[in-house]
Amino acid sequence: MNTLPDKSAENEFLLLLNNHRGIVHRLARVYEPDVHARADLVQEMILQLWRTYSSFRRDSQFSTWMYRVCLNTALTFIRREKNRNRYVPSEDLPSVPDEMPDQKNEQIDMLYRAVHTLSDADKGVIFLYLEGFTGAEIAVQLGVGEVNVRVKINRIKEKIRQKIAEYEQQ
């Protein structure tokens, strides 16, 4: 018995994935600072999305389901890599700039650098917040109360502000 989706489901999946591919890449960047490991994480997320696509019940938007699958995959991937002792924080790796960064790219890089210092759970919360999810939607995604989410977001934003201030002083 073949459990893989048929050709029309495959085409539908590829179209949906293409329309929402930014989710995968942005979430991977939040959880994996190293560009090479990030590419592995992106592949892992796409593979997991494909494996579980037949279980997508369509009682929510594809993007909502995609966030959940990718977030769980990222957390599992990071834990597995840390357990293998192969995870090396990016600040320990030499970096070669691709080009001269402009002001906006520097600010974005600083934001990601600050986000990388957060716990895995906080990264998930701030990622959803930055993606435009409301407190209520984040609460549903994470299975916690909306008030809890709002408090977490405020605390996380303060942590990020402090880290960015530290980076600007360096």
Q: Do residue 78 and residue 9 come from a single domain?
A: yes
User: Where residue 165 sits, what CATH number does that domain have?
Assistant: 1.10.10.10
Give the separation between CA 125 and CA 128, rounded to whole angstroms: 5
Do 132 and 65 fall into the same domain?
no
Q: What is the pLDDT of residue 105?
A: 77
Residue 102: predicted pLDDT? 58
If you write DSSP's letter for every residue of the chain in order, what string do you get? ---S--HHHHHHHHHHHHHTHHHHHHHHHHH--SHHHHHHHHHHHHHHHHHHGGG--SSS-HHHHHHHHHHHHHHHHHHHHHHTT----GGGS----SS---HHHHHHHHHHHHHHTS-HHHHHHHHHHHTT--HHHHHHHHTS-HHHHHHHHHHHHHHHHHHHHHHHH-
**Same-domain check for residues 89 and 115:** no
The answer to whether residues 8 and 81 belong to one domain is yes
pLDDT, tens digit, 9 for 90 and up, residues 37-49: 899 999 999 999 9
Expressed as residue numbers, the domain containing 47 is 1-94
116 and 141 belong to one structural domain: yes
Same domain, 136 and 167: yes
Whether residue 89 sits in one domain with residue 16: yes
Q: Which of 71, 94, 117 is the last residue of a domain?
A: 94
Reading the chain (170 residues) residue by residue, the pLDDT tens digits are 445 557 888 899 999 999 999 999 999 999 988 889 899 999 999 999 999 998 898 888 899 899 999 999 998 888 887 666 544 444 443 443 444 445 677 888 888 899 999 998 899 899 999 888 899 989 888 888 999 999 999 999 999 999 999 988 88
- Statement to judge: residues 77 and 149 lie in one domain: no
Is the pTM above the cut of 0.75? no
Q: Return the closest-CA partner of residue 73 out of 29, 118, 27.
A: 27
Q: Which of 65, 94, 123 is the last residue of a domain?
A: 94
Domain end call among 66, 94, 122:
94
